[in-house]
A and B are shown apart, each in its own frame.
Chain A
Amino acid sequence: MTPVLAIICLYLALVLLVGFLGHRLFRGTGEDYFLASRSIGSFILLMTLFGTNMTAFTMLGASGEAYRSGIDVFLLMGSSSALVIPFVFYFVGTRLWWLGKRHGFLTQAQFLRARYESNALGLVLFVVLITLLLPYVLIGVKGGGDVLNALTGGPTEGLAPWVGSTLMCAVIFSYVTYGGMRSTAWVNTLQTIVFMTVGALAFFVILGKYGGLGQAMSSVAATRPELLVVGRNSHDFLRMASYLLIPLSTGVFPHIFSHWLSAKSAKTFRSAIVFYPLCITAVWVPSVVLGVVGNIDFQPPLQGPILVNLILQHSGGVLAGLLAAGVFAAIMSSLDSQTLSTGTMFTTDIVRHYGFHDRLSESQQVLFGRVFVMILLAVVLLLSLVTSRSIFSLGVWSLSGFAALFPVIVGALYWRRSTAAGALSGVLTVAVLWVAFLVRSLGFEGEYTVAGSGLMPVVVMFAGAALSFILVSLFTMPPDDEVIDKFFPA
Chain B
Amino acid sequence: MVAYPKWLAALVFGVVVVYLNYWMWDDSRIVLGLPVNLLYHVVLSVCLAPIMVVVVRRAWPRYLSDD
Contact = CB atoms under 8 A, between A and B. Distances in A.
B50 to A, nearest CB: 8
A95 B52 CA distance: 17
Contacts of B46: 277-278, 281
A101 interface: yes
Nearest to A240: B20
B10 interface: no
Interface in A198-257: 212-214, 217-218, 221, 225, 228-232, 236-237, 240-241, 244
Contacts of B53: 274
B33 to A, nearest CB: 4
A217 B48 contact: no
Q: Give the most central of B2, B28, B48: most A CB within 10 Å.
A: B48
A1 B43 CA distance: 44
Nearest to B18: A83
Contacts of A241: 20
Nearest to B54: A274
Nearest to B57: A270
Q: Give the most central of A79, A86, A231, A288: most B CB within 10 Å.
A: A79
Contacts, number: 121
A101 to B, nearest CB: 7
A214 B30 contact: yes
Interface stretch (A70-78, A121-129, A332-340, A386-394): A70-78
B30 A78 contact: no
A79 B45 contact: yes
Interface residues of B, number: 34
Q: Give the most central of B15, B45, B49, B53: most A CB within 10 Å.
A: B45
A265 interface: yes
A275 interface: yes
A82 interface: yes
B67 A83 contact: no
B49 A277 contact: yes
A309 B37 CA distance: 26
Interface string A250-293: 00000000000000011100100111111011000100110000
A232 B25 contact: yes
Contacts of A71: 35, 37-38
Interface residues of A, number: 52
A78 B35 CA distance: 15
A230 B26 contact: yes
A265 B45 CA distance: 26
B22 A237 contact: yes
Interface in B11-67: 12, 15-16, 19-20, 22, 25-28, 30, 33-35, 37-38, 41-42, 44-46, 48-49, 52-53, 55-56, 61, 63-65, 67
Interface of A: 71-72, 74-75, 78-80, 82-83, 86-87, 90, 94-95, 98, 101, 212-214, 217-218, 221, 225, 228-232, 236-237, 240-241, 244, 265-267, 270, 273-278, 280-281, 285, 288-289, 414, 488-490
Interface of B: 1-2, 12, 15-16, 19-20, 22, 25-28, 30, 33-35, 37-38, 41-42, 44-46, 48-49, 52-53, 55-56, 61, 63-65, 67
